[in-house]
């Protein structure tokens, strides 16, 4: 971040963040990046976490942020979890009472409600909640909508990470559009910069044939990421490119065994590599030719940004903020969701024209520099912190 980055009015404002866990999710990573950059600017940041577990806890150990444990346990019975949430709400209130934050900034539905409620009760001057995905959880969990509506009304501002999420929030939460602030996700470009030499070395380390056409998908193995359609598309791609290889990177959330069986049934098991959760995503992208995202739903995908930062053309579904990140026909292809044939067609198109694929990858990297750097994301938050102090919730 440059020396002229926006600073908030107070000399040392106290900012309390709230979130459910510190796993490697999109929202968690963006929050951690924001906290790290603010810490480097000597802001007084605190973090309340329902379950302070996950890889990002080590990432934040390198900062001065104090982490407070909500004491929640997700592996308990329904009744026990409800009681633990009440206890966590009391702990959050005690933290607020103790540190007296100037700003409370919460992420994700459950902690949005808990943070907004506690902040309003204890008169935190500025309450911000963040919507990071389409509100489809309201369709899955009856009764959750009322909590989203309440957290929206208790907040001074609601940040969204794409126009699609903003429009969905207004519709579902009956929200006032004037409260919504669009702040796109940011990526650290230097982490994804690589050359041909590194590409060769990474392929050698992974024992990947340098002649292979490698298509990478970075997405936890969750149904809505639609790895089933991805495998169906891979079947069509491998018919035309027998030397193609699909890397599936992501933590198994209970569907991997079924995906392996499907790959065997489709006869493509030798073209699929499951890599589980990895800490070397930038290296894997450097070794790849194309990035693919086949999701049914997204808010604003960090993986799309990271792929573009790595210089990869992207084939992604027309969901959420994907069309806001990718310029269709210039930095990648946007395809309809649940359409493995069209997904395969666009992958094949890029494999057939490596020169175009490289050119689109370079244009994607330029787009990241102009619109989606982490420094821009941080500065947009600081502008919000600056401008919102006198805004009252309604």
Domains of the chain by start residue, with CATH: 14-186+373-387 (3.40.50.2000), 189-371 (3.40.50.2000)
- Residue 36 pLDDT > 70: yes
How much is the mean pLDDT over the chain?
91
Decide: 8 and 382 in contact? Cβ < 8 Å.
Answer: yes
In sequence order, the 6+-apart residues with CB closer than 8 A to the CB of 197 are none
pLDDT at 1: 46
Closest by Cα among 223, 185, 224 to 306: 185
- The lowest-confidence range among 179-183, 190-194, 232-236, 367-371 is 190-194
Q: Which residues of 301-319 are buried (b: 16+ CB within 10 A; e: fewer)?
A: bbbbbbbbbbbbbbbbbeb
Per-residue confidence (pLDDT) for residue 329, from 0 to 100: 97
Highest mean pLDDT out of 128-142, 263-277, 380-394: 263-277
| Nearest-5° Cα angle at 374, 124 to 95 | 25
Looking at the chain, the whole-number percentage of residues with pLDDT higher than 90 is 78
Has residue 5 got a pLDDT over 50? Answer: no
Evaluate whether 6 touches 386 at the Cβ level (below 8 Å). yes
pLDDT at 74: 87
Look at residue 293 and tell me whether its pLDDT is greater than 90: yes
How would residue 270 be classed by pLDDT, with cut points 50, 70 and 90? Answer: very high
Query: Which value, in Å, is the radius of gyration of the alpha carbons in the chain?
Result: 22
Instruction: Return the pLDDT at 394.
Output: 41
**Total residue length of the chain:** 394
pLDDT tier at 194, thresholds 50, 70, 90: low
Average pLDDT on 11-28 reads 89
Contact 93, 122 (CB under 8 A): yes
CB 96 within 8 A of CB 104: yes
- Residue 236 token pair: 């069509």
**Phi, psi values for residue 107, rounded to 5°:** -130, 145
- Is 4 a residue whose pLDDT tops 60? no
Tell me how far apart the alpha carbons of residues 63 and 34 are, in angstroms, rounded to a whole number: 11
- Whether 9 has a pLDDT exceeding 60, the answer reads no
pLDDT of residue 391: 43
């Amino acid at each position: 971040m440059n020396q002229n980055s926006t600073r908030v009015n107070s000399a040392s404002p106290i900012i309390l963040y709230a979130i459910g866990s510190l796993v490697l999710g999109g929202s968690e990573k963006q929050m951690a990046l924001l906290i790290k950059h603010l810490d480097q600017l000597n802001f007084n940041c605190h973090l309340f976490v329902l379950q302070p577990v996950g890889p990002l806890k080590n990432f934040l150990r390198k900062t001065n942020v104090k982490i407070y444990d909500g004491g929640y346990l997700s592996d308990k019975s329904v009744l026990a979890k409800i009681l633990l949430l009440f206890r966590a709400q009391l702990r959050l209130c005690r933290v607020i009472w103790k540190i007296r934050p100037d700003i409370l900034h919460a992420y994700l539905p459950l902690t949005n409600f808990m943070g907004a409620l506690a902040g309003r009760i204890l008169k935190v001057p500025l309450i911000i909640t963040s919507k990071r995905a389409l509100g489809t959880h309201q369709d899955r969990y009856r009764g959750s909508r009322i909590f989203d509506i309440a957290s929206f009304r208790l907040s001074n501002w609601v940040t969204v990470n794409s126009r699609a999420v903003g429009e969905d929030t207004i519709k579902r939460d009956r929200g006032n559009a004037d409260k919504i602030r669009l702040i796109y996700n940011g990526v650290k470009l230097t982490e994804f910069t690589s050359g041909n030499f590194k590409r060769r070395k990474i392929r050698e380390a992974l024992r990947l044939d340098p002649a292979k056409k490698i298509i990478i998908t970075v997405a936890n193995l969750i149904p809505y990421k639609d790895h089933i359609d991805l495998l169906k598309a891979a079947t069509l791609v491998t018919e035309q490119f027998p030397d193609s290889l699909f890397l599936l990177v992501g933590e198994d959330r209970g569907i991997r065994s079924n995906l392996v069986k499907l790959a065997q049934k489709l006869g493509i098991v030798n073209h699929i590599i499951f890599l589980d959760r990895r800490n070397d995503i930038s290296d894997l992208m450097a070794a790849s030719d194309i990035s693919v995202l086949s999701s049914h739903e997204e808010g604003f995908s960090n993986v799309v940004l990271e792929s573009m930062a790595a210089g990869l053309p992207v084939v992604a579904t027309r969901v959420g903020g994907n069309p806001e990140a990718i310029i269709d026909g210039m930095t990648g292809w946007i395809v309809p969701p649940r359409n493995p044939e069209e997904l395969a067609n666009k992958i094949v198109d890029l494999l057939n024209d490596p020169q175009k694929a490289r050119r689109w990858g370079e244009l994607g990297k330029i787009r990241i520099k102009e619109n989606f750097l982490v420094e821009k994301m941080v500065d947009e938050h600081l502008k919000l912190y600056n401008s919102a102090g006198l805004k009252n919730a309604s």
